[in-house]
C-alpha cells in the first residue's frame, strides 16, 4: 500500500471524526429543540432539515461551492477571519459534510429523545432545571439512539463522494478522501490500487453497519 493510500484514509477518518463530533455537539440540542414543536411548523422544520436526504449530492455540493466563493457572504467572512479560502480546503469539507450528514444524525437523535418516558422527565424537572434534566436524565436514557445517530453520521461521511468532490476537488493531503482516491484510481485504470480503497471502505462500512444493527436491536 502506498503512502497516498494511508494519507487519503487518514484524511477520511479525520473528516468523519470531526464532522461527527460537531453533529453531536450541535445536533443533539437541535433535535431536542425540534421535538418541542408540533403541527405544521415542526413538519416544516423537519422537511428543511431532511433536504440532504433527497437532494443529489452534486446539487448540494454545487450550491455549497457557490456559497463558499470569495464574493459571497460566507466566503467573504471566512476569508476575512482566516485569510484563506473556504472552498477546496479541509474546513470547507467539514462544513459541507456537516450539512450533508445532518439529517442522518438528527433524525435518530430525535427518535431516541422521543423514546424517553415523559413522566420520568417531568419527575426530574421537579428537582432540577431544564438543562440539567436534558444533560443528566434525558441524554443518558437515550444513549443508544444517540450512539446510533453518531455511527450513521460517521459512516455516511466516510462514504461521501459528490459533495466532497464538488467543494474540495482532489488535492492530495488536503481534500483527497478515500472515495475520491478510489474514483481517481479507476479513472487511471489502476485497478489494484482502486481495489485496496474499495475493500477498505467496504470493511469499514460493514463494521459500522453491524454496530448500527446491534444498537437498533438492543435499543428495541
pLDDT on residue 176: 93
User: Angle at which helices 90-114 and 57-67 pack, to 10 degrees?
Assistant: 120
Between 32 and 219, the higher pLDDT residue: 32
Decide if pLDDT at 191 tops 80: yes
pLDDT on residue 119: 84
Q: What is the pLDDT of residues 74-132, one digit of tens each?
A: 988 998 888 888 999 999 999 999 999 999 999 999 999 998 888 888 887 787 888 88
For residue 120, give the H/E element and its range.
helix 118-125
Decide if pLDDT at 3 tops 60: yes
Confidence of residue 24 (pLDDT cuts 50, 70, 90): very high
pLDDT on residue 220: 53
What's the average model confidence in pLDDT over 146-171? 91
Grid cell locating 1: 500500500
* Domains in the chain, number: 1
Percent of the chain with pLDDT over 90: 50
| C-alpha distances in Å from residue 40, one per residue of 37, 43, 45, 53, 86 | 9, 5, 9, 20, 35
- Measure the CA–CA gap between 75 and 96, rounded to whole angstroms: 13
Quote the mean pLDDT of the chain: 89
Between 24 and 135, the higher pLDDT residue: 24
Decide if pLDDT at 38 tops 80: no
Q: Are 108 and 149 in contact (CB under 8 A)?
A: yes
Decide if pLDDT at 39 tops 70: yes
CATH number at residue 155: 1.10.3720.10
Grid cell locating 96: 459541507
Q: Which residues contact 182 (CB under 8 A, 6 or more apart)?
A: 194, 197, 198, 201
Name the residue range of residue 195's domain.
3-219
Ranges 36-40, 49-53, 152-156, most confident: 152-156
Amino acid at each position: 500500500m502506498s503512502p497516498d493510500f494511508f494519507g487519503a484514509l487518514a484524511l477520511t477518518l479525520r473528516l468523519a471524526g470531526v464532522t461527527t463530533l460537531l453533529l453531536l455537539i450541535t445536533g443533539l440540542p437541535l433535535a431536542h429543540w425540534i421535538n418541542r414543536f408540533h403541527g405544521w411548523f415542526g413538519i416544516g422544520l423537519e422537511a428543511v432539515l431532511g433536504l440532504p436526504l433527497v437532494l443529489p449530492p452534486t446539487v448540494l455540493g454545487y450550491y455549497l461551492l457557490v456559497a463558499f466563493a470569495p464574493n459571497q457572504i460566507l466566503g467573504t467572512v471566512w476569508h476575512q477571519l482566516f485569510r484563506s479560502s473556504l472552498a477546496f480546503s479541509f474546513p470547507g469539507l467539514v462544513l459541507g459534510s456537516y450539512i450533508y450528514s445532518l439529517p442522518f444524525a438528527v433524525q435518530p437523535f430525535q427518535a431516541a429523545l422521543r423514546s424517553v418516558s415523559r413522566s420520568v422527565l417531568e419527575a426530574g424537572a421537579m428537582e432540577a432545571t431544564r438543562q440539567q434534566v436534558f444533560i443528566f436524565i434525558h441524554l443518558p436514557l437515550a444513549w443508544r439512539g444517540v450512539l446510533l445517530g453518531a455511527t450513521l453520521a460517521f459512516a455516511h461521511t466516510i462514504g461521501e463522494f459528490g459533495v466532497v468532490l464538488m467543494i474540495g476537488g482532489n488535492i492530495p493531503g488536503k481534500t483527497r478522501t478515500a472515495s475520491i482516491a478510489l474514483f481517481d484510481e479507476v479513472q487511471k485504470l489502476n485497478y489494484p490500487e482502486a481495489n485496496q480503497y474499495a475493500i477498505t471502505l467496504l470493511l469499514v462500512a460493514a463494521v459500522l453497519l453491524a454496530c448500527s444493527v446491534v444498537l437498533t436491536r438492543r435499543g428495541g
